[in-house]
Structure 1
Amino acid sequence: MQPEFSGSTGIIYLAWHGKMKDMGDYRSILHMNWKRFVEQAILEHNCSGRDEVCLSGQWIRNDLYLCLQLPHETEELEEQLLELGNRLKKDWGRRFRFISLSADLYPWLAGLKLHAGIALLSGEMSEEDRWYEGIKRAIVHGQSACSTERSLKRRALEQYIIGRTINSVYQPIISLKDSEVYGYEALSRFPDKRWFEGPQQLFDFAAKEGLMYPLDRLARERAIEGCSGLTAGQKLFINITAQIMEDPSFTPGKTLQLLERFGLSPSNVVFEITERTSIEDFGSAKKILNHYRKQGYQIAIDDAGAGYSSLQSIVELQPDFIKIDRSLISGIHLDPMKEHMVHTFTEMAAKMDTSLVAEGIEEEEELLHMKALGIPYAQGYFLGRPQQSVG
């Protein structure tokens, strides 16, 4: 018999998924203990008054459906439901594993993962249909063990994009010939680290979710918007990924308009292609980059020496700058092999008429080595930390 709903209501689906080999009678014992645990956990939750919601549990075989009425009519109802489902999955899963360990049931639970899914129920259908549709949506949403976390991450990412809350900080790139600031690398920052440890994790997740293009466009725009203090001869290095070059909206017109609004020109901009992702179609990439070069933009290969195809990218794309990855710079004064590899980069750059930038200078000895090797430009904490604006 399905429960009755009114107002803003939701379902949280919780079920153990995975392989249970040779369990025998332990399967029924495990499920019995899980149901007993859930009954007590629901009672504790309702008595605590936490979240201002009262839970009621409905079982279909061994799958649990928590029914609840949400307290307020707000636009964040789905997010509240996701937050609660994610927290219950983590908390109840951890506590039940601990109980199972003391009850000698843990070996049978080790191969299982607790899944959670959620569904908001529409008021535009009968009670029976609402219950049926809600169960279906909650099960589909809970197919992955990380579905609630993924949904919350995606929501956070979408809010960053819609709210334009991605900002840029600027790390100076220093000329080692005269110690003047040659330019700045724009580095993306976001409001909090609740769901993403840093920009790399944010952009990796955006790529998986199909949101790389709007995120990259926003980061590019914010980088330009914050660099009004750039002088005519200085460069702004803007990170882009190889995949972005396939974006049909990645056009010089929009970027040019934005540059002109802040008194800049394409000659100020260096598009920095990260080498941590491979370029699959060099023919297409060269065509696109040549189009940009004709507009006055320059190209840099980032993370050289740490990516999938650094040498091929350098040879194929003929960049204006090669940025040597921190992994080759760190402790170079103590490592002859690193010194030999960087020296090889200097010889190659000289033949290609390409400039080198040493990344991640953190010690004076590293800086002195770069100067001795004839590296023209460098950046790193020893030379200057990222700052809120340029100039």
Structure 2
Amino acid sequence: MYRFFVQPQVDQSQKSVFGYELLLRKETHGRWAVPATFTELPLTKQVQLLENLALQLATKATNQVLALNLNREQAEDKLMLGTIIYLKKRLNPAALTIELTENATLAEIQKYSMLFHQYGIKLSIDDVGTGSNTFDNVEPLLPYVDQIKFAMQNLRMSGKADQIPTALSFWHTIALQYHLDFILEGVEDAHDQAMAKALGIDLHQGYLYGKPQLAVDGPDQPMAALNDGQ
């Protein structure tokens, strides 16, 4: 059994949830875990799950953002573009952002940008500054996307937590330079929140605001963590 778990994305300046990242999970022996590969469930099946999820989250009434991850293999699926456009039409007026989790080529990004933007779908580059998403690789793509995401947890898990402040400041500056939305992932406590505030970073995601969870009863109620210092 597959389901999408959701994790809130918050605008700290407005003290509000503006969207949800959608994270595919598979149930095995009563436990939910990340699938071995995200392509084991076809995009068409994922769309069916997403339509049901959108109703549960009441996005059609609130115009919130749904952010869907897309890896390299999925992006190369010949049915991908049409499937994503179909999904956006079904979700209207909810907004849809496609988060590219692996470094795409310039030609691919240009194609996605041209087609997706016609339908109001935004493009995001996930995990900038780690893996293949180095600045040299990402820089040519920046004019064609709408958002970049910086994941502090990636540096923590690789034993490079001390590099977070410098790297975060760098990538936030790049986002400002290219007029991109910037989402900070891995916000876990008041210290992370304060660091983001000092840099003027308002869009947050992380355990401080909520762990990924099944959406059964609709979106979460306002969270105490939206208040500074809590």
Per the TM alignment, residue 325 of structure 1 is displaced from its structure 2 partner at its CA by: 1.4
Shift in alpha-carbon separation, 1:313–1:381, aligned structure 2, 3 A: same
Shift in alpha-carbon separation, 1:202–1:256, aligned structure 2, 3 A: closer
Per the TM alignment, residue 178 of structure 1 is displaced from its structure 2 partner at its CA by: 1.5
Identical amino acids, percent of aligned pairs:
21
Alignment map for 1:238-253 (pairs within 5 Å): 238-252=68-82
TM-score, normalised to structure 1, is: 0.48
Distance in 2 between residues matched to 1:326 and 1:380, nearest whole Å: 10
- Of residues 300, 308, 321, the one that matches 2:147 is 321
2:2 aligned with 1:172? no
Structure 2 portions without partners, runs of 5+: 220-230
Shift in alpha-carbon separation, 1:249–1:214, aligned structure 2, 3 A: farther
Per the TM alignment, residue 341 of structure 1 is displaced from its structure 2 partner at its CA by: 1.3
**3-state SS, counterpart of residue 304 of structure 1:** coil
Structure index of larger Rg: 1
Distance in 2 between residues matched to 1:373 and 1:328, nearest whole Å: 20
**3-state SS, counterpart of residue 173 of structure 1:** strand
* Contact kept in structure 2, 1:244 and 1:250, CA below 8 Å: yes
Higher relative contact order (CA 8 A, sep 6+): 2
More strand by share: 2
Q: What is the Cα-based RMSD across aligned positions, in Å?
A: 2.8
* Contact kept in structure 2, 1:236 and 1:270, CA below 8 Å: yes
**3-state SS, counterpart of residue 14 of structure 2:** coil
Per the TM alignment, residue 242 of structure 1 is displaced from its structure 2 partner at its CA by: 2.2
* Contact kept in structure 1, 2:7 and 2:210, CA below 8 Å: yes
- Of residues 178, 183, 186, the one that matches 1:352 is 178
Per the TM alignment, residue 225 of structure 1 is displaced from its structure 2 partner at its CA by: 2.5
Distance in 1 between residues matched to 2:213 and 2:16, nearest whole Å: 16
More helix by share: 1
Distance in 2 between residues matched to 1:323 and 1:342, nearest whole Å: 10
Count the aligned residue pairs. Answer: 210
* Contact kept in structure 2, 1:357 and 1:379, CA below 8 Å: yes
Per the TM alignment, residue 292 of structure 1 is displaced from its structure 2 partner at its CA by: 1.0
Distance in 2 between residues matched to 1:341 and 1:201, nearest whole Å: 30
**3-state SS, counterpart of residue 361 of structure 1:** coil
* Contact kept in structure 2, 1:224 and 1:259, CA below 8 Å: no
TM-score, normalised to structure 2, is: 0.79
2:19 aligned with 1:183? yes
Per-residue CA deviations over 1:295-354 (Å, capped at 9, x if unaligned) read: 2100111112222133245323222111101336759xx966421111111111101001
**3-state SS, counterpart of residue 80 of structure 2:** coil
